[in-house]
Amino acid sequence: MNIFSLLNDALLKMTWLSDLVRLLVEKVFRLSTKDRLGGSIHFFIYDTIKIFILLSVLIFLISYIQSYFPPERTKKILGRFKGIKGSILGALLGTITPFCSCSSIPIFIGFTSAGLPLGVTFAFLISSPLVDLASLLVLMSFFGAKIAIAYVVVGLIIAVIGGTIIDKAKMEKYIEEFVWGIPNADVELEEMTRKDRISFSKSQVTAIVGRVWMYVLIGVGIGAAIHNWIPQSVVEKTVGSNNPFSVIIATAVGIPMYADIFGTIPIAEALFGKGVGVGTVLSFMMAVTALSLPSIIMLRKVVKPKLLVIFVSIVSIGIIIMGYLFNAFSYIFI
């Protein structure tokens, strides 16, 4: 075994934790992990601990990197680019700029009033919740490096294409008028010290864990249910590879849901374990993270319905196409 897969097993997959929890379930609860109940308990305890460890460590590391790229700096960098170059850069910066749907409106207004092309702003808005360093590492942990990298690349492509289409379609008139009335302001900030960055990262960990722990537990609960209680045949019928609409169903179910990647991953893992196609699983994850009812409602405040519909359609169609492609070429990834 080479050093990379050794590290991957120990740090990301945490095989030791799985063994430890198995011991606990078998020796303390006296249940076999092959049984339904024992299996669910194992899944639930192991996944919960694993996700919370990953969540804390990753948020800390990523917040540290992100402290160098507040949206205000991103805005300045993006201001120098236009067209497809701008969309690509917008998508890339979206991956390292901290984002939650609660900040999408100020970011949208800030970018727009700074004169950034709509395409750049939307490329950023699509990629920011969809792809980040945390999702890359989490996916690596659960599904391996190939799928993780493919997810990130496809997410970026969807963001760039989405941004470019909106750019070419000249949608500026579908922005709510008041947005244009807000003057652009730049802010000069003192450089943060290392101590500032560490304290920022720590507070991010507490804030984000505090915000998402419920979703994680719900996600793990649903995952455990799929894993051991929902019959294989039901899963196969609805989202299995024989149902030609599996990807569309997975996307449609995922869009209104509001959760981040940490809450979705146990569900995705359980579906994957039941033999659901990798494309279907990724479509579900992308739909959940990229679009949600709360974020759509928020965006409606700054964007008129037509642009909103176009935005949601482009992202949904992109996710669906991606899902079918992954399913068709899944032999490369597994």
Residue ranges binding another protein (CB under 8 A): 70-72, 75, 98, 102-103, 105-107, 109-110, 113, 182-190, 196, 199-200, 203-204, 207
- Which residue has tokens 């702003």? 121
**Which ranges of 24-144 would DSSP assign to H, the alpha helix?**
36-66, 71-78, 83-96, 104-113, 118-130, 133-143
Rounded to the nearest 5 percent, the helix, strand and coil shares of the chain are 80, 0, 20
By C-beta, is 42 or 75 nearer to another protein?
Answer: 75
Give the Cα separation of 181 and 226 in Å (integer). 50
Helices and strands, counts by H and E, the chain: 17, 0
Give the Cα separation of 190 and 49 in Å (integer). 38
Taking the complex as a whole, how short is the minimal distance between the CB of residue 98 and another protein, in angstroms? 7
Taking the complex as a whole, how short is the minimal distance between the CB of residue 81 and another protein, in angstroms? 18
Length of the chain: 334
By C-beta, is 5 or 206 nearer to another protein?
Answer: 206
By C-beta, is 105 or 145 nearer to another protein?
Answer: 105
Taking the complex as a whole, how short is the minimal distance between the CB of residue 82 and another protein, in angstroms? 21
By C-beta, is 198 or 217 nearer to another protein?
Answer: 198
What stretch of H or E contains 160? helix 145-168
By C-beta, is 17 or 198 nearer to another protein?
Answer: 198
Dmax (CA) for the chain in angstroms is 67
Taking the complex as a whole, how short is the minimal distance between the CB of residue 300 and another protein, in angstroms? 15
By C-beta, is 97 or 289 nearer to another protein?
Answer: 97
DSSP 11: I
Shortest CA distance to 78 belongs to which of 128, 121, 109?
A: 121
Give the Cα separation of 252 and 224 in Å (integer). 22
By C-beta, is 56 or 103 nearer to another protein?
Answer: 103
Taking the complex as a whole, how short is the minimal distance between the CB of residue 302 and another protein, in angstroms? 10
Taking the complex as a whole, how short is the minimal distance between the CB of residue 106 and another protein, in angstroms? 5
Taking the complex as a whole, how short is the minimal distance between the CB of residue 113 and another protein, in angstroms? 7
Helix 278-290 to helix 118-130 angle, to the nearest 10 degrees? 120
